[in-house]
Structure 1
């Protein structure tokens, strides 16, 4: 009964189907046993061949799918070392902006203290500072601070909230303006051989109304100032409430000793030059030691370091190759074994033992050491000067153009990102 019902629901047979399949007995009748066997073997062979092709295609599709799933599609930047190495092999090592790959020798502090601020704080600060920076009176601050260090100075001054700010080296007054944006009501003392107002005759400059200038005819070097008298005059009794900013291209070991003697605790050095570069002996150079992680160098011509440095020199203007790093007797410390000072007007050869002792002294005075990282990776800023292999990871990593643009950094000209020289903040105290 069920079968008859199901049969009644089927569509009527197609006449052509009846014509093709209806006389099945006749087909069999006209086929010989030999022909039947040949037909069966041919059908089996054809089916096997089709199955093999089908299996091959399925394997090919599965392989392609697994490749696409396991390897994300990326746009390879010429600055992305990992992507370049993964896609093209290790033959391109030393060419990309792999931050810190040649070492970042940070000075060691006495107790291992670190700064309070975080990367999140820096990002928040960037968002606030960009529109401030766009109002700067000196648009083309050639030979002065660029964006990275302007932001660093503004951020740290704003975070520390000092009662008095001292700057040694004012040039046209850009750093004075930055300090003023950070602390609108705080008094500033500025020491500079030439008064910023002198630059007004030739172009933009900044002179602050709430600043005491030791400049021009009234210039006194930082190390010669009677700071006890000056502090008393300004009503400062707690020297931990004073921030000192050095942008005077003087030996930073000398400046650190002078600051210690005066009793200052919070210092910022603008040009913290890397080993083999710069016109003065810097904290970065002093702490570049074999026993420091990321420190010490090889002057062997066939070393990996020499090979990598040679390649990087082609891509970064301030990269240092082996011949620039090492003196005739393989002196790599300072600048080829020399301790530079005063815009390189003074150039004293020092032994490695003296260089080592300088490092030990600095460590005995350091409570905190923090190098400002670059604001953003070079694929975003298009900077071509400093070598990322000797710098900390940037605040905004390469490839994060959306964040770079959202913070307003894409509105700035590329030249403002070319002045990075490892600005450093240190907190110091006399060794007990």
Structure 2
């Protein structure tokens, strides 16, 4: 049986933005598409958050989700609003969104035109544990608020099944995993509004059950499968690789973990795209955004590192790890620069801001979906490597997620590094075959 993964303490994290530096910035580019004068020094920069309950496994041998929920302070998005309107919103107000929405994410990753025209007929599968009884209705609230088309069981866009494919015999409901499910569904919707969504709920959070859910997602036709969970590596991982993750022609994404430097599985699988996390903020650059490695403390931030068991895939040529290196690419994960999510089962019904690499995994799965169906014999994890060092990826060059003996494995640099891989999407070309 798989060993119990290391648990993140369910505690409050604190991230302090540079208020003086923010005040000196001349412009802030908000989701409204216009440059506005910024006076962020007048806005509190303290943001607090807590790990979602599923970050602590319920039973021995289960894996943990990789997400945090903001509990106080003003997020990066709210600071933008305050700078634009001159009105400071209430912190932790569940009545309105407080994190980045679809327009922000599409803008940050160069996806505006792709999201408007691509994804029709593609299916993104979300694999999580336990049941979210409000998944479809919460998704409807999110999509309606942001003006996205309805995605329901009735119109064929949304489907929820168990790991055996049943639509009626579902796992027991769980409040913590319901928060995770809401996060994953909303991020898939935000980046690929035209995609269909398949939610596959594993009976429990063991690797065996989650792996069976991955296989079921592929059996049901999904070409993009997001997994926002992980745990400690084990000698069984290579057998899990062949049993659950070796699916040519399917883009399988996995969050790299939220515990700072160190390898997790299944992010270490040679067959998946391992997704690290960044802090995403607006800037006065041509892109309009800037990113650094997400790190709150030595034990909280995006994961990275060398696998102890998984063979290095042929397309990965860095020399610091003799085996598989984590990560491949990255996307926003810092709770202080987090994303808006609507959830009504895990917490009091309302809008919340979430972070963690649980956000970055479905974002990247959705980018793959916008890019189009992979060829049947391909391993999509290799695709970003073919565009390494080009404008197809935003190179993240600052920040770290801890200490390590080989610098690039825990510290951002020009080109490839462990915490952010080759960088974040700038359009879809790095995610095509």
Structure whose alpha-carbon radius of gyration is higher: 1
Larger strand proportion, structure 1 or 2? 2
Structure 1-normalised TM-score? 0.30
Larger helix proportion, structure 1 or 2? 1
